Chain A
């Protein structure tokens, strides 16, 4: 959870009721991240790690939920949808 993420070149993202919807121009392909209201698009422009971002939530986020979200972001990184910086 100590990584900073940015959208990869050619990726767009928008907020949906289930979480975030990513679109990559390569393919093109869609990726669904069921993150609820925990992440917003501007997370990928922020200077916060996931852990720091989750601390800004009004209600505490369980460690299980946080780990699951971290794993999902890792998966998106492995697929080239987002990048670490």
Chain B
């Protein structure tokens, strides 16, 4: 039983990333969506309901909801209930600022909800440098409320140059709440484009992180680090990019993209206001392109079966070419460390 069977695409996504609003009460330096103000044409409740019904009809299993800050939408709790009534499991990524006792009490009753609370440092100094002044204590207050009411959640940290030294403390902090730590990959999209130099982890950190991950099997990664993971961890998740094969992304206005990190005009697959998502999934040329993507430079690599070239979004944002190797794959990092030429991509 293997995800090889999904390599050329499934009948429908396994999960859909849905950026339900661009509205956000924070301005995090690494925000992949460049969130802040709501988009002018965000889906209204009726259009959201239609999308939920479409996803349920094609048997999508899970919807990963982010933004923006989802709880900034006044109808968000109703939309969550609607998704669950349609048998969709939801995984909601929140900055926690609107989570109080009343909301935590409600969320505790939702069996089909997973919650991820973003925290980007184990101290106020580091977290607030990324997420904004005063956020550290507000996030921990949210975590307190969630734990008090028995809501299952994970703390989600985007790995950066400045929080890398705090990973162990972050893991312990999460454990203190009975929560998992989930570490996500910094990607140079959205505001991450301009903060890459300041926040992007360096190659020594990424290499050490690969070792740390192997030693910390219970730390979650959402498979964003599959280009770094060991054989042991590989069994826990994907060994290829899932974009257009197992997942896709819906923007606040209903645009469909292969993944949240490829929300660029060149990768627009369609809009759910005009076409059923099944039609887009089956027939959009750009999704087919992702399914047939060959990273030729990687085919002779000993780790090819582990990552199949890595994250196309990283290649796109680095080289403007999705067929290039992931610049942060383990083999290329090692080559750079030893002074050898990395495979298949320019050093300049």
- Residues on A lying within 8 angstroms of B by beta carbon are 12, 14-18, 21, 23, 25, 28, 30-34, 72, 75
Chain B residue numbers with a CB within 8 Å of A17 are: 11
User: Chain A contact residues: over half helix, strand or loop, or mixed?
Assistant: strand
5 closest cross-chain pairs (CB), A and B: A23-B61, A14-B59, A32-B1, A18-B5, A32-B5
B1 and A28: CB pair below 8 A? no
> What number of residue pairs across chains A and B have CB atoms under 8 A from each other?
37
Chain B residue numbers with a CB within 8 Å of A15 are: 11
Complex Cα–Cα for A75 and B59 (A):
24
Given A32-B2, A32-B6, A12-B112 contact (CB < 8 Å): no
- B55-99: CB near A (< 8 Å → 1, else 0) gives 000010110000000000000000000000001010000000000
Complex Cα–Cα for A56 and B6 (A):
28
A28 and B10: CB pair below 8 A? no
- Residues on B lying within 8 angstroms of A by beta carbon are 1-3, 5-6, 10-12, 14, 59, 61-62, 87, 89, 112
Chain A residue numbers with a CB within 8 Å of B5 are: 16, 18, 32, 34
17 contacts between A and B (CB under 8 A): A12-B59, A12-B87, A14-B59, A16-B10, A16-B11, A18-B5, A21-B10, A23-B14, A23-B62, A28-B61, A28-B89, A31-B1, A32-B1, A32-B3, A32-B5, A34-B1, A72-B1
B112 and A25: CB pair below 8 A? yes
Residue among B3, B11, B62 making CB contact with A28, cutoff 8 Å:
B62
Complex Cα–Cα for A30 and B3 (A):
8
Q: How far is the CB of A47 from chain B (nearest CB, A)?
A: 23
A33 and B1: CB pair below 8 A? yes
Complex Cα–Cα for A33 and B10 (A):
13
Chain B residue numbers with a CB within 8 Å of A31 are: 1
Complex Cα–Cα for A75 and B14 (A):
22
Q: How far is the CB of A21 from chain B (nearest CB, A)?
A: 7
| 20 extra interface residue pairs, beta carbon distance < 8 Å, beyond A14-B61, A21-B14, A33-B1 | A12-B59, A12-B61, A14-B12, A14-B59, A15-B11, A16-B10, A21-B10, A23-B14, A23-B62, A23-B89, A25-B89, A28-B89, A30-B3, A31-B1, A32-B1, A32-B3, A32-B5, A32-B6, A34-B1, A72-B1
Q: How far is the CB of B213 from chain A (nearest CB, A)?
A: 17
Complex Cα–Cα for A53 and B5 (A):
24
Q: How far is the CB of B220 from chain A (nearest CB, A)?
A: 10
Chain A residue numbers with a CB within 8 Å of B6 are: 32
Chain A residue numbers with a CB within 8 Å of B12 are: 14
Query: Which residue among B1, B10, B112 has the maximum number of chain A CB atoms within 10 Å of its CB?
Result: B1
Complex Cα–Cα for A30 and B2 (A):
9
Question: Which single residue of chain B is at the shortest CB-CB distance from A23?
Answer: B61
Complex Cα–Cα for A75 and B62 (A):
24
Complex Cα–Cα for A33 and B2 (A):
9
Complex Cα–Cα for A75 and B112 (A):
25
Question: Which single residue of chain A is at the shortest CB-CB distance from B1?
Answer: A32
Question: Which single residue of chain B is at the shortest CB-CB distance from A24?
Answer: B61
Complex Cα–Cα for A31 and B14 (A):
11
Q: How far is the CB of A71 from chain B (nearest CB, A)?
A: 12
Q: How far is the CB of A17 from chain B (nearest CB, A)?
A: 7
Complex Cα–Cα for A12 and B84 (A):
13
Question: Which single residue of chain A is at the shortest CB-CB distance from B88?
Answer: A12
Question: Which single residue of chain B is at the shortest CB-CB distance from A12?
Answer: B61
Complex Cα–Cα for A12 and B62 (A):
10
Complex Cα–Cα for A34 and B6 (A):
11
